[in-house]
């Protein structure tokens, strides 16, 4: 399967292309036999190299191991070095392979993307180093796009980008997971999104994102800020421009409130346990319904990555759309809870 065949409808400059390769296209590529002497191992995303114990364990597996992935132009092993070494240890002459015909940069990124989705996981250090390499080859990728390939959180990727800022090429735009290019400075987009939300509070995140030219995640943050009566643009983002605002302009800005602190899964679990023990929640039907919903959310908070890995590749996009939609409903629910005062004497 050639890179040209896979190029549409994805853009080669986006992480979407690589994730489509990983999750579907390469799995549909034909399985062929390759002579072990023709294969090379010149690069691995594992900083510590191969794991001899893991090779020994694979060599003792009686069932057939999955095919390895090979970069056809160079015959370099992209994914499956441990399986290759196990085959060599067993004295095999041939091994089953799938071929990738793209460029070497994409092959390097695939080596990372594949190892964070199956097989022996990469260490945190391996994934952080991979993120730094992605910044070097694709500085225009958004934090979420890099995170999806490297198997890190967007917050961790943002930290790595900031720490490496002095050595990286800078781009004034970011290409997101959806392949869309957006400006790094989203001040104007945030302000526009704020106006659109006020005009049509029921509009979906994706509709507003498309109109304002920012990501759905950014729109979600803007909506939360609008609901709390805050400036849609974080003060740190306004930077020097905020300091230069005229007194009249500053007077027009909404009053600043303390931002909502993001809770860890453990903290959320503690809050949930308190609610679950409350008789006023447990002893009525609607309260029990709510606790069951929160229990499902708690499972996701505790073991999100395992759930992500368990969803079949062809269902991931639909699942993402569904979760985004429910997240909007949960966000509105949270706003309603805070905006409706408790009855007197409660």
Q: Is the pLDDT of residue 239 over 70?
A: no
Q: At what angle do helices 285-302 and 265-277 cross, to 10 degrees?
A: 160
pLDDT tens figures, 180-219: 776 666 788 888 899 999 888 888 888 888 888 777 878 8
Cα first-last separation, the chain: 66
Strands 94-100 and 68-71: parallel
Task: Write down the pLDDT at residue 13.
Answer: 54
Q: What count of residues does the chain have?
A: 346
pLDDT at 341 exceeding the cut of 60: no
Residue 308, C-beta contacts closer than 8 angstroms, at least 6 positions apart: none
Backbone angles phi, psi at 74, to 5 degrees: -115, -10
Instruction: Give CA separation, 224 vs 198, 261, 321, 334, in Å.
Output: 12, 12, 20, 10
64-106, pLDDT tens digit by residue?
899 999 999 999 999 999 999 999 999 999 999 999 988 888 8
Q: Where are the domains of the chain?
A: 15-175, 185-228, 265-339
259-285 confidence digits (pLDDT tens): 444 566 677 777 888 888 888 887 888
DSSP 8-state secondary structure symbol assigned to residue 264? P
For residue range 44-58, list pLDDT tens digits in order.
888 778 888 989 999
Residue 340 tokens, joined: 């409706």
Say yes or no to pLDDT of 43 above 80: no
Q: Is the pTM value of this prediction over 0.75?
A: no
User: From the CB of residue 276, how many other CB atoms can be counted at a distance below 10 Å?
Assistant: 14
Nearest 10 degrees: Cα torsion 156, 162, 166, 170: 100
């Amino acid at each position: 399967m050639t890179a040209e065949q896979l190029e549409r409808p994805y853009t080669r400059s986006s992480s979407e292309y690589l994730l489509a390769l990983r999750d579907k296209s390469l799995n549909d590529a034909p399985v062929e036999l390759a002579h072990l002497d023709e294969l090379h191992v010149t690069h691995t995303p594992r900083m510590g190299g191969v794991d001899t114990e893991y090779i020994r364990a694979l060599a003792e597996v009686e069932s057939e191991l999955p095919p390895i992935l090979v970069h056809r132009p160079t015959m370099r092993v992209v994914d499956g070095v441990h399986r290759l070494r196990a085959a060599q240890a067993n004295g095999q002459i041939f091994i089953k392979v799938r071929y990738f015909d793209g460029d070497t940069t994409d092959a390097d990124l695939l080596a990372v993307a594949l190892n964070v989705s199956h097989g022996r996981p990469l260490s945190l250090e391996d994934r952080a180093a991979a993120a730094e390499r992605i910044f070097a080859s694709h500085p225009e990728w958004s934090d979420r796009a890099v995170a999806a390939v490297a198997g890190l959180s967007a917050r961790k990727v943002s930290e790595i980008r900031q720490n490496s800022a002095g050595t990286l090429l800078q781009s004034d735009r970011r290409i997101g997971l959806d392949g869309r290019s957006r400006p790094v400075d989203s001040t104007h987009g945030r302000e526009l999104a704020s106006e659109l939300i006020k005009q049509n509070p029921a509009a979906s995140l994706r509709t507003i994102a498309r109109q304002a030219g920012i990501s759905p995640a950014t729109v979600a943050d803007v909506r939360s800020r609008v609901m709390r009566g805050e400036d849609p643009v974080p003060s740190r983002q306004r930077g020097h421009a905020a300091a230069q605002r005229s007194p009249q302009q500053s007077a027009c800005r909404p009053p600043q409130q303390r931002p909502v602190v993001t809770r860890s899964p453990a903290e959320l679990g503690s809050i949930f346990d308190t609610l679950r023990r409350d008789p006023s929640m447990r002893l009525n039907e609607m309260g029990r319904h709510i606790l069951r919903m929160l229990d499902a959310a708690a499972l996701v908070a505790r073991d999100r990555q395992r759930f992500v890995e368990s969803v079949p590749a062809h269902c991931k996009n639909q699942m993402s759309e569904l979760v985004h939609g429910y997240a909007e409903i949960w966000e509105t629910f949270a706003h309603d809870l805070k905006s409706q005062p408790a009855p007197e004497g409660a």
